[in-house]
Amino acid sequence: DAKTTQPPSMDCAEGRAANLPCNHSTISGNEYVYWYRQIHSQGPQYIIHGLKNNETNEMASLIITEDRKSSTLILPHATLRDTAVYYCIVSLSGSGSARQLTFGSGTQLTVLP
């Protein structure tokens, strides 16, 4: 699986959009980008995933560049409860089979009041 690079930490003001970048320059054509987060002392939580197109759900938006070498997770209106470590993961997900998800060190997002 392709390696990802994320900034170790970011701050965001409450109510503002949080934009979390991820670099995955070695991604292959059939690898998906997944985002998970882990709030302190809890298990990781799935947020969103995508292949090529931008994706949006009730939690966040995922913007993938045209060359697929980087992506941005957007939390449109960050709240204090969004303070967590955010993991960007690249993984194959073909034929409906699960693949190993390798969690790196992620980005610690702190939402400030």
Partner 1 sequence: DAGVIQSPRHEVTEMGQEVTLRCKPISGHDYLFWYRQTMMRGLELLIYFNNNVPIDDSGMPEDRFSAKMPNASFSTLKIQPSEPRDSAVYFCASSLTGSGANVLTFGAGSRLTVL
Beta strands in 57-106 (DSSP E): 61-64, 70-75, 84-92
Report which residue type is found at 28: S
| Nearer to partner 1 (CB atom), residue 53 or residue 113 | 53
Binder to partner 1 among 6, 22, 32, 88 (CB under 8 A)?
A: 32
| Nearer to partner 1 (CB atom), residue 15 or residue 104 | 104
93 binds partner 1 (CB under 8 A): yes
Q: Is the CB of residue 50 less than 8 Å from the CB of residue 32?
A: yes
| Nearer to partner 1 (CB atom), residue 65 or residue 105 | 105
- The SS3 of residue 53 is coil
R_g over Cα of the chain: 13
Binder to partner 1 among 21, 23, 49, 74 (CB under 8 A)?
A: 49
**Residue given tokens 């993938």 in the structure block:** 64
CB of 52 to partner 1, least distance (A): 15
Query: Whole-angstrom Cα distance, residue 36 to residue 38?
Result: 7
CB of 49 to partner 1, least distance (A): 7
Binding region for partner 1 (CB under 8 A): 32, 34, 36, 42-46, 49, 91, 93, 96-105
